[in-house]
Amino acid sequence: MTTTAPDTGRSPTGERPAPPKRRPLTLRRRESRAGLALVAPTLLVTIAVIGIPIVWTVVLAFQRVRLATLRKTGLFGEFTMDNIDRVLHTPGFAETLWVTLLYSIGGTVGSIVLGLVAALVVRRPFRGRTLVRASMLLPYVAPVVAVTFVWQVMLDPQLGIVNAWGQRLLGWDAPVPFLSQESTALATVIVFEAWRYFPFAFLFLLARLQAVPGELEEAARVDGATPTQRFRHILLPQLLPVIALLGVLRFIMTFNKFDDVYLLTGGAAGTEVVSVRVYEFLTARTDIGAAAAQAVVLAVVLIVFVLIYLRFFGRRVS
C-alpha cells in the first residue's frame, strides 16, 4: 500500500538521544520489513537454484574437474585456463557457434513472421475464432518430446507421411531423409523451431493489435488508404516495439535451446548447437570443467549479441 506521508522514519533519531525503550516502528518501516519478508522466499529460491549455480559455473570453468574426481575437488581448488583453451581449440567449436547463430536467427525470424501473419488473420471476429486461436497455440503448449517425435515420424524416409505423399503427389524420386542429411537437417530444425514458437509471437502481437484504437484505421480508410497501406503505415509502426522485444526474447531463448535439437537430431548432420555440445561434454565425456567453460563461452557470446542488438534497437525495446 502506498501512503503519502513523508518519510519520518529517520529524522527524529538524529535530534534526540536514543530513548531507553524501543519506539514503535513507523508505518513506512513496517511496510519495508513486510516487503522484505514476503519477497524473501522468492529471492532465496532464485539465488540458491539460479544465482549460485551461475557463479559456480564460472568457477568450474577455470578448474580441472571431472565427474570421477568430483569428490576430491574443493570450491577453490587451483585455477587454470586449460578448459577455456581446450574449448576454443577443440575441432568444431567455430562451426558449432555458427550453426547456433544460424539456428537462432532463423528460428527467431521464422517464428515472428509466422506469428505476425497468424495474428493478422484472426484479428477480426469470425465464426469459430476462439477454436482457431486455441488450435494455433497447440505447438507451443504440447510437450516437446511428443512434438519432436511426431515430426521425426512424419519426416521418416520409410514410414513418414511427408515422404509418402511427396513421392506420390510431387514426384520425388527418392525419399528425403530430412533430419539425417547435412543439406536439409539444419533447415528442418529451423522450420520446426518456427513452427513450435510462432504461437508465442502470435499471443503478444495479437494482444498488441487488439489495443490499436479502431479510429486510427477508420480515419486512414476514410482518407482512401487501401488495406495494405493501412497495414504498412498504421499497424506496422504500432507493432514495431513488440516485434523488437520479441526479437530479443526469442533470440535469447533459441540461442539457449537444448531440447529441440537434441531430440530431433541429437546434434548430428551439422545441427550441433552449443547447448547440445555442453551436454555432450557433461555426460558423454564427463568433463565438467570443459562443459562449464563451454557454457560460459555460450553465455558470453549471448550477452555480446544481446548488447549489440540493444544498441541498434534499444530505444524501441524500452
Within residues 189-208, the interface with another protein by CB under 8 A covers 195, 203-204, 206-208
Q: Which of 4, 16, 222, 228 binds another protein (CB under 8 A)?
A: 228
- Compare residues 122 and 268 and give the one whose CB is closer to another protein: 122
The x, y and z cell numbers of residue 210, run together, are 487488439
CA 213 – CA 224 distance, rounded (Å): 18
Q: Letter for the amino acid at 38?
A: L
182 membership: H or E segment, kind and range = helix 182-211
82 binds another protein, rule: CB under 8 A: no
Q: Which of 25, 70, 88, 307 binds another protein (CB under 8 A)?
A: 70
Query: In a 3-state reduction of DSSP, which class is residue 84?
Result: helix
- Least Å from the CB of residue 262 to another protein: 8
Site for another protein in 131-150 (CB under 8 A): 132-139, 141-147, 149-150
For residue 258, how many other CB atoms are within 10 A of its CB? 15
- Compare residues 11 and 21 and give the one whose CB is closer to another protein: 11
- Compare residues 157 and 270 and give the one whose CB is closer to another protein: 157
CA 92 – CA 113 distance, rounded (Å): 31
CA 61 – CA 74 distance, rounded (Å): 14
- Compare residues 4 and 21 and give the one whose CB is closer to another protein: 4
Q: Which of 101, 109, 164, 220 binds another protein (CB under 8 A)?
A: 164
Q: What is the DSSP code string of 17-46? A: PPPSSPPPPPHHHHHHHHHHHHHHHHHHHH
265 binds another protein, rule: CB under 8 A: no
Q: Which of 185, 189, 235, 295 binds another protein (CB under 8 A)?
A: 295
- Least Å from the CB of residue 260 to another protein: 10
Stretch that binds another protein, among 76-84, 88-96, 161-169, 179-187 (CB under 8 A): 161-169
Gyration radius from the chain CA atoms: 27
DSSP 2: -
Number of amino acids touching another protein (CB under 8 A):
101
